[in-house]
Structure 1
Amino acid sequence: MSLYASPLFAPLRPWLERLPEAPDSLALAALAEAFPVTTETGQTIRFAPPVADGRAYECRIWESGQVETRPDNWHDFFNGLVWLAFPLTKLAITRSHVAAFRPTQADGRGMVRDGLTHFDECGIVILSTRPELLELLRAFAWKELFVTRRAEVETCMRFVVFGHATYEQLLAPFRGLTAKGLLFEIEPDFLALPTEQQQPELDRRLAARIEQDFAGATPLRPRDLQPLPLLGIPGLTPDNADPAYYDDTWQFRPGRRQAVGV
């Protein structure tokens, strides 16, 4: 069975199909040359080995286009693939990092950059044509959402992984694997779009949300993102066909009754 059998690899699948089933950094770099992504500063994104030049990771990307990519490393390999699949969003994240960078701070970070990094690493986009399903998610009403309303979830919701650390974890998913989501109420026509049209449109909308939610007057904190236990998504594991699967309160916690959406 392919390492990428999970349906959650769907956003990366067009790129994965062009690459060996291994974290091949040279093949990734060649793919980036064939499908270039350009920053607003005119730099072309390149995946290259780390360098010790004293610059912050995101500042280096913005100034030179160089994305530090450790050779044959799964984490960095998936980061590169997300750059290809969601270029506008990755550019928005990088731009927001640079705008929020404060070299006078001990680590140059702060709340804005912490939130951006959290979503960049383990973010997921949760789409629904029915706002009441998003409300159940916000309320951590796992059984009502994934058991009682299961058929609606399957037809009216989509779960799109963004975080490259989450993609790495999906190579060997485990009980309790959780992504952190941004919620979108969408129109039914959007879900009907062919993948080749849906993906760039989602990238555009997500990039706008990054600018709105992380770079605004009240930026999101990591704890403001909606936790989602990935193995609860219908069909992601055969075990969750049994309603009793959701009685596992260690995995499906009652939560804090607060999350962020639209």
Structure 2
Amino acid sequence: MILPLASLAETLNTPAPWLMPYLCAARAVAAAKADSVADALNAASSGGIRFVEQAALPEGEPYESFIARTACVPTRDNLHDLFNGLMWLSYPKTKRRLNVLHAEEITARGSVAGARGPLRDAMTLFDENAAIFQAPAVLVEALRARNWQPLFIEHRAQWASAHLALFGHALLEKLMQPRKPITAHVWLVEEFTDEAIASSLTLPRLAAKDFLPLPVLGVPGWWPANEHPAFYDDADVFRRPR
């Protein structure tokens, strides 16, 4: 088994809480008898998108444009692209929406290296580091205000009614080695379905970078140390608004 698949399989022996939404898909990918990450993802896919080797991407063609044109995702044999593939399997409509927006922006503005522009930067930030969050108003208000004590301690019981899933594949990759400062860019939704998340990705909202910071190891039940209120006293991680 190639290294990224072996690493995923080992992680799934005792899966972290943030991997639970992807457990079935991840196990199917890890169990595939494949010689590449692309082949393993294809073995777990129900269709709609194909994963191909990175070499299939023509020189000079933007990655997002190639996906939009071919419905094929260039995939390297590493954890970063493995988690990207898991998101395609789990949220195909949301990933497709991001891809369409990227491709349209490239067509409209070109693809000069280093000139992605603020809208594509926001889409990339969502793709790489977003966490999708649906929660009671009291939690949302506390998160907006960066009121960490009410968010994580006073209203801790409210988290049982919240729905949080990590979407960013770079974020999931970083959490293979959890560290307290790792922070997600939270995207609030009113309904937690792939279709609703995709619909929430409007150009004005993306352009405004409508994200909220969340140190993910502070989520109740996600890290043993956060059972102690003093965990949240670290001002370098749980920062007050500027």
CA–CA distance in structure 1, aligned partners of residues 218 and 35 of structure 2: 32
CA–CA distance in structure 1, aligned partners of residues 173 and 180 of structure 2: 15
Deviation track 1:200-238 (CA, whole Å, cap 9, x = no partner) reads x6111110011x2xx23x64354x311110010012111
Could you say what secondary structure the match of 2:30 adopts? coil
Whichever residue aligns with residue 207 of structure 2, its letter is: L
TM-score between both structures, scaled by the size of structure 2: 0.85
CA–CA distance in structure 1, aligned partners of residues 60 and 83 of structure 2: 24
User: Counterpart of 2:150?
Assistant: 144
Of residues 90, 99, 102, the one that matches 2:95 is: 90
Q: 1:232 to 1:65 in 2, by over 3 A?
A: same
Whichever residue aligns with residue 109 of structure 1, its letter is: R
TM-score between both structures, scaled by the size of structure 1: 0.79
Whichever residue aligns with residue 176 of structure 2, its letter is: L
Select between 54-63 and 6-15 the one with higher mean Cα deviation. Answer: 6-15
CA–CA distance in structure 1, aligned partners of residues 169 and 98 of structure 2: 13
Whichever residue aligns with residue 134 of structure 1, its letter is: V
Deviation track 1:85-138 (CA, whole Å, cap 9, x = no partner) reads 10000000000001111217554511111000001000100111x212101110
Q: CA deviation at 1:37?
A: 4.1
CA–CA distance in structure 2, aligned partners of residues 166 and 140 of structure 1: 20
Q: CA deviation at 1:168?
A: 0.7
| Greater percentage in helix | 2
Q: In the alignment, is residue 232 of structure 1 matched against residue 218 of structure 2?
A: yes
Q: CA deviation at 1:13?
A: 0.9
Q: In the alignment, is residue 7 of structure 1 matched against residue 14 of structure 2?
A: no
User: Counterpart of 2:207?
Assistant: 220
Q: In the alignment, is residue 56 of structure 1 matched against residue 62 of structure 2?
A: yes
Whichever residue aligns with residue 150 of structure 1, its letter is: R
> Are the equivalent residues in 1 in contact too, given 2:30–2:40 (CA < 8 A)?
no
Q: In the alignment, is residue 115 of structure 1 matched against residue 122 of structure 2?
A: yes
Q: CA deviation at 1:253?
A: 0.5
Instruction: Please list every run of 5 or more consecutive structure 2 residues that lacks an aligned counterpart in the other structure.
Output: 1-8
Instruction: Please list every run of 5 or more consecutive structure 1 residues that lacks an aligned counterpart in the other structure.
Output: 39-43, 187-200, 257-262
**RMSD (CA atoms):** 2.3
User: Counterpart of 1:99?
Assistant: 104
Q: In the alignment, is residue 134 of structure 1 matched against residue 140 of structure 2?
A: yes
